[in-house]
């Protein structure tokens, strides 16, 4: 039995690294929220600091799972990235729109939305290329073969 080539396309490697960085950034947000808990309680925030830290924790876990799946070319990681990335972008834009009280953050909203649209377009372009789809399908076939044994 020949082992199939499981070489990961470089674009998927970059996406996995990006997903890992987003995960780490969110997990650092949890840590920062817990460390500065007493400071945040004195401020007039629109949501509780615990909710913000919890949101960062959930997103950190989701992005860590997606990064691992992309790195290992798990078949579920491709559709997961195509679902998680726009949902995350909408949540971040919504948080910036509805939860921020500073005019500075609202003023940056058009730039942030434009950047998110460009990045999402890049993600969708990379993940729908035939070489990338084939890389994920090869690993799906390998997993089916392992289950048969």
Q: Structurally, how many domains does the chain consist of?
A: 1
Q: Is the pTM of this model over 0.85?
A: no
Domain presence at residue 136 = yes
6 touches 73 (CB < 8 A): yes
Distance separating alpha carbons of residues 122 and 116, to the nearest angstrom: 10
Print the domain residue range for 37: 10-148
Domain presence at residue 5 = no
Domain presence at residue 71 = yes
The single-letter DSSP state of residue 132 is H
**pLDDT tens-digit map of 62-99:** 999 999 999 999 999 999 999 999 999 999 998 888 87
pLDDT string in tens for the chain (149-residue length)? 334 446 899 999 999 999 999 999 999 999 988 887 777 767 766 777 778 888 999 999 999 999 999 999 999 999 999 999 999 999 999 888 887 767 777 788 899 999 999 999 999 999 999 999 999 987 665 555 455 44
Domain presence at residue 4 = no
Domain presence at residue 53 = yes
Report how far Cα 74 is from the mean position of its chain's Cα atoms.
15
């Amino acid at each position: 039995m020949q082992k199939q080539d499981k070489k990961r396309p470089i674009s998927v490697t970059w996406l996995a690294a990006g997903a890992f960085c987003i995960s780490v950034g969110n997990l650092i947000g949890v840590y920062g929220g817990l460390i500065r808990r007493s400071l945040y309680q004195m401020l007039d925030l629109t949501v509780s600091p615990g909710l913000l830290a919890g949101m960062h924790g959930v997103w950190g876990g989701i992005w860590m799972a997606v990064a691992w799946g992309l790195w290992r070319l798990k078949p579920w990681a491709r559709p997961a990235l195509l679902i998680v990335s726009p949902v995350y972008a909408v949540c971040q834009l919504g948080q910036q729109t509805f939860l921020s009280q500073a005019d500075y953050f609202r003023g940056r909203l058009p730039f942030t939305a434009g950047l998110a649209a460009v990045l999402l377009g890049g993600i969708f372009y990379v993940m729908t290329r035939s070489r990338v789809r084939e890389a994920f399908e090869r690993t799906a076939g390998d997993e089916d073969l392992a289950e048969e044994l």
